[in-house]
Amino acid sequence: MNTTIDDIVSLCKRRGFVYPTSEIYGGLTSSYDYGPLGVELLNNIKQLWWKEFITKREDMVGLDSQILLHPQTWVASGHVTSFSDPMVEDKKTHKRYRADHLIESWLEAHRGQNAVDFKVENLKVSDMAKFIAENKIKSPQNNEITEPKSFNLLFETAVGVISGDKSTVYLRGETAQGIFSNFRNVVDSTRVKLPFGIGQIGKSFRNEITSGQFVFRTLEFEQAEIEYFFNPDDTDWQKLFKSWQDTMWRFVVNILGIDKSKLRWRKHTDSERSHYSKDTYDLEFEYPFGWKELWGISYRTDYDLKQHQEFSKQKLEYRDPITGKTFMPHVIEPAVGVNRLFLMILVNSLRKEDKRLVLSLPPKLAPRTVAVFPLVANKPELVEKAREVYRLLINADIKTAWDERGNIGKRYMSADEAGTPWCVTIDYDSIENASVTVRNRDTTKQVRIQQADLVSYFRQNLHKEDDEK
């Protein structure tokens, strides 16, 4: 099955992974809510990331900085002047579109009909304007468009209650700046020493126009970001950079279980690379709408700490406890959108077999590990026994769902689409001999297991998966 974005959207709405935000009012562009199953999958992804990159590493600590930071933070970082996208406007509908997206769509539509072959991200805004004019590119509604202009992506808001006496602040465009502004606090309050990293997971906001790619690019999104600080005089940044690339790859392939043939590295060109970066790579995944950035890694040098030291007039240098030397640390930044991990996992896991649709999530990622069913919902003795099994599993901290709707076949189908690895069915033999039927999602094979052995059975299977990785 070649998974389409429509397949993913349909599954997410049907099974409660993702809903359009404010749907009863017509929705809000590029905004989505995560339903009962979606929020569990998101939490599982974040917990695995935190475990692998923070908890299990001696050289890492965590942080949770505010969404609203002092506005000078974004002036110092360069976001107020440099954080922008090239935008055009439909002269008739007045809708805005990304100029680079329109050019990419035009190139795709004319593939093989001309000799044009280049990376759109290499174009400056003036180059885009020239290309659009020469090729008479129009809006998706086939209307004339304006020349592209830079459009700042930061959301502005205000602090204060009196109109005319409010201070302008920004919703953060990335989580990194909260880490940099807390660098001195972390060094002074902990026993960290270089090289070390600070990581956090949190919401970021970008006022950008998207191209209908579901949760891949949204106004509000969640980032898992690391700033790894080191001394450039005694650490080879290229070796450190490569080691972080290897770590990122292992997490996606070994921990999240992603097909490596759907992954590749892409180096940013000089014109594409951010102003603060000396080198940047994207780990890309082949989504249904093409190869797109999943996880970026940049060598930010000492740009950010220097900028914040200059604008704040506060010392942000590091003093080596052994040599006594004072210097400004350099930084390597691996940053990933949790929502993009979420979408990648769904795309990688969804498959169609015969007449059933299966979301083959790794058990440690599945929103529910087990679903418990009474064979017949209108038999009190079966329901009571099934409830007993349900409580047994829940009390053992095994994520368990309960379902007594419809016939058993429909319940299996629902569990398969929800990504639940195992189903436990309680029948009349369960009352007689305390045994239950356990069905495997991926193989559909069923085995008979004693109720008393269920907890150890599922725990062993969960650990077996980790051992195999």
Read off the pLDDT of residues 254-304 as tens digits, 9 standing for 90 and up: 999 999 999 999 999 877 777 778 899 999 999 998 899 999 999 999 999
Tell me the residue type at 410: K
Query: What's the pLDDT score for residue 63?
Result: 97
Q: What is the pLDDT of residues 260-269, one digit of tens each?
A: 999 999 999 8
- Bigger pLDDT: 401 vs 469: 401
**Residue 84 C-alpha from the chain's centroid:** 21
Nearest Cα neighbor of 341 from 356, 361, 368, 358 is 361
DSSP 336-383: EEHHHHHHHHHHHHEEEETTEEEE---TTT-S-SEEEEESSTT-HHHH
**337 CB contacts (<8 Å, ≥6 apart)?**
221, 222, 223, 224, 294
Which single residue is written with the structure tokens 């026993």?
A: 191
For residue 468, CA distances in Å to 254, 386, 464 come to 9, 32, 6
Using alpha carbons, list the distances in angstroms from residue 187 to 65, 310, 325, 326: 16, 19, 15, 13
Q: Tokens 């997490």 appear where?
A: 251
Give pTM, 2 decimals.
0.86
DSSP result, 298-333: EEEETHHHHHHHHHH-----EE-TTT--EEPPEEEE
Note whether 91 and 145 are within 8 A (CB): yes
CB 281 within 8 A of CB 266: yes
Question: For residue range 444-468, what is the model confidence (pLDDT) as tens digits?
Answer: 999 999 999 999 999 998 877 655 5
Q: Looking at residue 101, what is its pLDDT?
A: 77
Backbone angles phi, psi at 79, to 5 degrees: -70, -35
Q: Quickly list DSSP for 92-117.
A: TT--EEEHHHHHHHHHHHTTTTS---
Q: What is the pLDDT of residue 115?
A: 47
Question: Do 302 and 331 form a contact (C-beta atoms < 8 A)?
Answer: yes
Taking each helix axis from N to C end, the angle separating 5-15 and 408-418, rounded to the nearest 10 degrees, works out to 120
